């Protein structure tokens, strides 16, 4: 991990790296989150129809409060469609009518467990197979009691998972942190929904120390990168570039004092050489309430950013379709 971070920082040639702190509302993190994922390799569903089905399922889980912005949730909602019968009537235009079996699954793609499943039949017709698939999907009522019960069962079992296996989830996060996989550890902890109250409380207790380890580890890397920028350009331009790196250091990290020393040294030289009384980092960390808010936003940002780069693949759920 250290080599990766160093490579990123130095390959950017000291370009300022400002973190993005745009976050969803807190309520989004309180939800049980389901990723809707239908892999491209499910070839029996045409691509256009697959997109329509994904959109319909996303709307269904959103209405059930299961589509929050949790970081890389391990639980997926996926689907498959099998053709049970078909009737093709020649003419101008050709009319194709199909009878489909639609199967829905909520799965734990990490442990490869089906959490909840249901299936039902639906008809669709069109001038070609894709339109028949699409029209069949559009006719599905995802408010149907059977689908509603399927989603409720999945929600209950996900809560039961965290309530009964909380110690395993916490142990996994601890192991990830011990390997300096801090983003992964924070993602594991942040993925525990608030509705699993006891496990959520333990996760919130654990995530602070993990973030502190990450901040301390990241601090020295940023200082080294900033020092390299300053050494390459010991002037106001280099100080601005170095300052952009130093600004990302959490004031609570162990080497923040070293960062402040470098800042003071740069300011002193710029003032002496260029006669400029110039400060590039404001005192924004004096308010402890704001500092705590920034820290919470920071660990969420780290986890969410990592989670967005860890999208599930067909290999994660291939066992469902075998």
pLDDT digits (tens, 9 = 90+) for 211-257: 889 889 888 888 888 888 888 888 877 887 787 788 778 888 888 88
More confident residue, 28 or 120: 120
Residue at 253 is within a domain: yes
Domain check: are 178 and 90 in the same one?
A: no
139 and 239 within one domain: no
DSSP state of 284: -
- Is 250 in the same domain as 284? yes
pTM value?
0.65
String of b and e for 114-143 (b: at least 16 CB within 10 Å)? Answer: ebbebeeebebebeebbbbbbbbbeebebe
pLDDT for res 207: 87
With a pLDDT cut of 90, the percent of the chain lying above it is 16
Cα dihedral: 257, 208, 70, 65 (round 10): -130
What pLDDT does residue 8 have? 35
Q: Are residues 36 and 157 in the same domain?
A: yes
Of 148, 164, 180, the residue at which a domain comes to its end is 164
Q: Which helix (H) or strand (E) holds 13?
A: none
**Are both 76 and 174 inside the same structural domain?**
no
Q: What's the CATH number where 64 sits?
A: 3.30.160
Question: Where do the DSSP E strands lie in the chain?
Answer: 35-36, 75-89, 95-108, 113-126
pLDDT in tens, 137-190: 999 888 888 888 999 898 888 888 888 989 999 999 999 999 988 888 888 888
Number of domains in the chain: 2
* CA–CA gap between residue 40 and residue 236 (Å, rounded): 51
Residues 160 and 171 in one domain: no
Sign of CA dihedral 31, 69, 180, 255: negative
| Nearest to 78, CA basis, from 111, 51, 110, 105 | 105
Query: 308: pLDDT confidence band, cut at 50, 70 and 90?
Result: low
**Shared-domain flag, residues 47 and 141:** yes
In terms of residue numbers, what domain contains 121?
Answer: 31-164
277 band by pLDDT with thresholds 50, 70 and 90: low
Query: Is position 313 within any domain?
Result: no
Asked if residue 208 and residue 88 are part of one domain, the reply reads no
Structural domain contains residue 51 = yes
């Amino acid at each position: 991990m250290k080599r990766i971070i160093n490579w990123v920082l130095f390959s950017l040639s000291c370009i300022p790296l400002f973190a993005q702190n745009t976050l969803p509302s807190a309520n989004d993190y309180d939800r049980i989150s389901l990723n809707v994922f239908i892999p491209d390799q499910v070839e029996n569903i045409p691509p256009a129809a697959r997109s329509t089905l994904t959109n319909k399922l996303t709307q269904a889980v959103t209405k059930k409060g299961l589509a929050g912005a949790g970081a890389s949730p391990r639980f997926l909602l996926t689907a498959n469609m099998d053709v049970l019968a078909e009737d093709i009537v020649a003419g101008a235009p050709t009319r194709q009518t199909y009878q489909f079996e639609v199967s829905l699954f909520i799965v734990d793609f990490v442990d490869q467990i089906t959490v909840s499943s249901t299936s039902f039949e639906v008809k669709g017709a069109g001038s070609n197979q894709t339109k028949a698939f699409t029209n069949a999907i559009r006719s599905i009522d995802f408010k149907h009691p059977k689908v509603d019960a399927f989603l409720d069962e999945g929600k209950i079992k996900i809560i039961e998972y965290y309530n009964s296996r909380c110690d395993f989830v916490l142990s996994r996060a601890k192991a990830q942190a011990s390997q300096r996989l801090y983003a992964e550890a924070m993602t594991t902890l942040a993925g525990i929904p608030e509705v699993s109250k006891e496990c959520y409380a333990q996760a919130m207790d654990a995530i602070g120390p993990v973030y502190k380890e990450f901040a301390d580890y990241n601090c020295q890397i940023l200082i080294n990168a900033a020092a390299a920028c300053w050494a390459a350009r010991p002037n106001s331009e280099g100080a601005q570039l170095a300052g952009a790196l130093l600004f990302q250091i959490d004031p609570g990290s162990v080497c923040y004092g070293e960062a402040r020393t470098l800042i003071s040294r740069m300011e002193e030289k710029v003032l002496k050489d260029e006669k400029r009384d110039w400060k590039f980092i404001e005192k924004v960390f004096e308010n402890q309430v704001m500092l705590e808010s920034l820290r919470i936003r920071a660990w969420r940002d780290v986890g969410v950013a990592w989670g967005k780069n860890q999208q599930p693949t067909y290999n994660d759920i291939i066992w469902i379709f075998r």
